[in-house]
Amino acid sequence: MARKPRLHFPGAVYHVRLHGNGNQKVFLDATDRTRFLLLLQEGIEKFGHKIHAYCLMPTYLQLVIEVADVPLAKIMQQLGFRYTRWFNDWHQQTGHLFQGRYRAILISPEDFLLDLVREVHLSPVRSGIENDPMLYAWSSHRAYCGREHVLWLSLQRIFLLLEATGIRAMMKFHSYVNEGAGSQPEIDFTQGSERDPRILGDEEFVRGVLKLSRQKYQPKVSPEKIMRVVLEGYKVTEEELAAPGKNRLYAEARAYLAWLYLETGSATLTALGERLGRDVSSLSSAVRRLQLKAKKDEAVAAKFQKLMKRVRR
Q: Which of 146, 177, 212 is the last residue of a domain?
A: 212
Measured CA angle at 262 (ends 258, 268), to 5 deg: 80
Specify whether 55 is located in the same domain as 195.
Answer: yes
Cβ count near 238 (within 10 Å): 14
Instruction: Domain of residue 82: give its range.
Output: 13-212
Residues 275 and 138 both lie in one domain: no
Record the pTM: 0.68
What CATH number does the domain containing 159 carry?
3.30.70.1290
In a domain? residue 284: yes
Local structure of residue 189 (DSSP, 8 states)? T
- 35: closest CA among 116, 94, 97? 97
CA distance 27 to 58: 5
50's enclosing H/E stretch is strand 50-56
Domain harbouring 295, CATH code: 1.10.1750.10
pLDDT of residue 219: 53
Same-domain status, 20 and 110: yes
Residue 287 placed within a domain: yes
Report the number of distinct structural domains present in the chain: 2
pLDDT at position 2, please? Answer: 41
Residues 170 and 23 in one domain: yes
In a domain, residue 27? The reply is: yes
Please tell me whether residues 208 and 237 are part of one structural domain.
Answer: no
One domain, residues 93 and 233: no
Sequence-ordered alpha helix ranges (H) in 51-155: 72-91, 109-121, 123-126, 141-144
Shared domain for 295 and 246, answered yes or no, is: yes
Residue 2 maps to a domain: no
Residue 5 lies in a domain: no
Q: Please, are residues 47 and 75 in contact by the beta-carbon 8 Å criterion?
A: yes
**pLDDT digits over 211-238, tens only?**
888 744 345 688 999 999 999 999 999 9
In this structure, the answer to whether residues 192 and 249 fall within a common structural domain is no
User: Do 205 and 241 have their domain in common?
Assistant: no
191 burial level (CB within 10 Å; 0-12, 13-18, 19+): exposed
| Shared domain check, 130 and 51 | yes
pLDDT (tens digit, 9 = 90+) per residue, 7-25? 899 999 999 999 999 889 9
pLDDT confidence bin for 47, thresholds 50/70/90: very high
